Amino acid sequence: MTVPKLALSDNTGEALAKTRADVVVVGTLAGEDGPVLAPGAAAVDAAFDGRLAGLLATLGASGKAEEVVKVPTLGKLPAGVVLAVGLGKQGDAVTPEQVRRAAGAAGRALAGTDRAFVTLSELDLQAAVEGTILGSYVFTAYRSEKGDAPLAKADFATPGTGTAGTAREHKATLKAAGAIAEAVIVARDLINTPPNDLFPASFADRAKKLAEDNGLEFEVLDEKALKRQGFGGILGVGGGSSRPPRLLRLAYKPAKAAKKVALVGKGITFDSGGISLKPAANMDHMTSDMSGAAGVLASVVLAAKLKYPLEVVAHIPLAENLPSGTSYRPGDVLTMYGGKTVEVLNTDAEGRLVLVDAMVRAAEENPDYLIETSTLTGAQVVALGNRTAGVMGSEGFRDRVAAIMQATGENGWAMPLPEELRADLDSRLADLANVTGHRWGGMLAAGIFLREFVADGLDWVHIDIAGPSFNTGSPWGYTGKGGTGVPVRSIAAVLADIAANG
């Protein structure tokens, strides 16, 4: 994992005259008559005798979101280049997400740069740090030619006089934002690792190393232990692969924990659909079907790094869903952990089967909250698209999590669990079936299936990230191609909210 080294710096003419940065990053806004310099650019503009906005306009800049225009300084500053990045339409206030996306676009454009001075942090320090680090991210582990290295060092302008926070608080924000962005990168690296190298046992090895490095409790159940303890969902789904399933438990336990939070993430390291085989087109995207597991692993490690006053316990079910002579079949009945039975009507609805085993196990530890996330349904993409996660669960906690996801820019949207869909999960043989048998409300029906295994009275939430977890299109903002790391930043914000408000 490569991330820029971070530092804070005064954003003054004197500081800029002494900077060792190669590039200075300023923000622009789309005004009615052309680009307008954003707060933080005053000292840079002064070096250009107040003519920077006009120069940018001459070069075709408009200030539109994520627009990048480079201007040589011609000796006016020690840095050789000013990089102006668009924040979008000028309005009453610039939002953190505008800053995050602009910083991400700048981070992508800074590939091959040793050091940058970023003034966007005058608008929002946390957003600027997160955006710069995440925009700089590249995954080149499997390339023989690595290309330009990502930005190596970033100096962030300290928010100026009149902004909230003391110098000590700004340093804490820099550290926390850096840790959160690094956690997203941990998840991205896992998601982007191909399935021939990332399978249940190797995922477990990586998780163990992270646990050891961060002082976490670690436990892994192999296929024999899973069978002894009755984890029928995980064993059923993983039975078709020569690489057997696992169930991981990682725990962060501070001395004084105000609340206990359980995290559960779906870890299908590759999903062919099993006997209910998927179409060949885009099946390679199913290397990302462990995005929930990656996010949960990164989040419990982050909880330890940021020392949240919470007990955070992650349960991560891992399996490959492959067709073979030992695969589970449509028509099979599985006995899940805890004793409920499920008739399998479609082996491509496998994620919910491994999840409920882990959710029931997690509830045995009596958490105050349960957060589960998974690339669960194609219906999520149909309903909400590729950038908006569906959020379901107990209504109060669901709405709280969805609002926090909106604030972080990860765009969760609260969705219902309609009672009339429950009867469609009735089985002729077992306690319930794993699918409804029709295409309507598939994301919601999956949430209802999960609800059947949630302990009474437990505040819980299910975050369906089938679309947002993996970007198959062009890079945008701070999101490159491949794994996105959604919803790590949201889980971090939810944990911080629980720590502050219970």
The verdict on residue 151 lying in a domain is yes
- Clarify whether residues 150 and 241 are in a common domain: no
Same domain, 12 and 136: yes
173, part of any domain: no
**Domain for residue 334, yes or no?**
yes
Nearest Cα to 299, choosing from 132, 100, 495?
A: 495
- Which tens digit of pLDDT belongs to each residue from 38-87? 999 999 999 999 999 999 999 999 999 999 999 999 999 999 999 999 99
| 120 and 246 both lie in a single domain | no
Rounded Cα distance between 451 and 446, Å, is 9
**pLDDT beyond 90 at 92:** no
pLDDT tier for residue 201 given thresholds of 50, 70 and 90? very high
Is 481 among the residues known to form the active site? no
pLDDT of residue 343: 98
User: Do residues 93 and 194 both lie within one domain?
Assistant: no
Identify the domain containing residue 13 by its residue range: 5-159
Do residue 77 and residue 223 come from a single domain? no
| pLDDT (tens digit per residue) in 2-20 | 899 999 998 888 889 999 9
- Rounded Cα distance, 442 and 431, in Å: 19
Concerning whether 352 is annotated as a catalytic residue, the answer is: yes
Q: Are strands 246-252 and 310-321 parallel, antiparallel or unpaired?
A: antiparallel
Whether 134 and 195 share a structural domain: no
Q: Given pLDDT bands bounded at 50, 70 and 90, which one contains residue 164?
A: low
Complete DSSP assignment for 42-71 = HHHHHHTTT-HHHHHHHTT----TT-EEEE
Using CA atoms, how far apart are residues 394 and 91, in angstroms rounded to an integer?
36
Read off the amino acid at residue 482.
G
In a shared domain, residues 126 and 269 = no
CA angle 88, 91, 92 (to 5 degrees): 140
Q: Which residue type is seen at 105?
A: A
Choice among 108, 243, 246, 352 that is catalytic:
352
Judge if pTM exceeds 0.95: yes
User: Is 485 part of any domain?
Assistant: yes
Q: For residue 161, what pLDDT is reported?
A: 54
d(CA 425, CA 428) in angstroms, rounded, equals 10
CATH number reported for the structural domain that contains residue 447 in this entry: 3.40.630.10
| Residue 438 shares a structural domain with residue 299 | yes
Would you say residue 96 has pLDDT above 90? Answer: yes
**Pairing, β 389-393 against β 459-464:** antiparallel
198 and 112, same structural domain?
no
d(CA 375, CA 441): 16
Residues 104, 477 contacting (CB under 8 angstroms): yes
Residues facing 433 on adjacent strands: 343
Q: What six digits make up the tokens of 72? A: 């040589």
Digit-coded pLDDT (tens) for 262-277: 999 999 999 999 999 9
Per-residue CA distances from 243 to 33, 322, 368, 376, 451 (Å): 62, 10, 34, 22, 30
Q: Does 472 reside within a domain?
A: yes
Q: What is the Cα–Cα distance from 85 to 66, expressed in whole angstroms?
A: 6
> What is the pLDDT at residue 188?
98
Strand partners, 413: 390
In a domain, 181, yes or no: no
Residue 36 forms part of a structural domain: yes
Residues 274 and 352 in one domain: yes
Find the CATH number of the domain harbouring 43: 3.40.220.10
CA distance 34 to 66: 15
Catalytic residue among 64, 171, 206, 278: 278
One domain, residues 196 and 154:
no
- Residues contacting 501, CB < 8 A, separation 6+: none
Is 117 inside a domain boundary?
yes
Pair 144, 272 in one domain: no
Considering its fold, how many domains does the chain have in total? 2
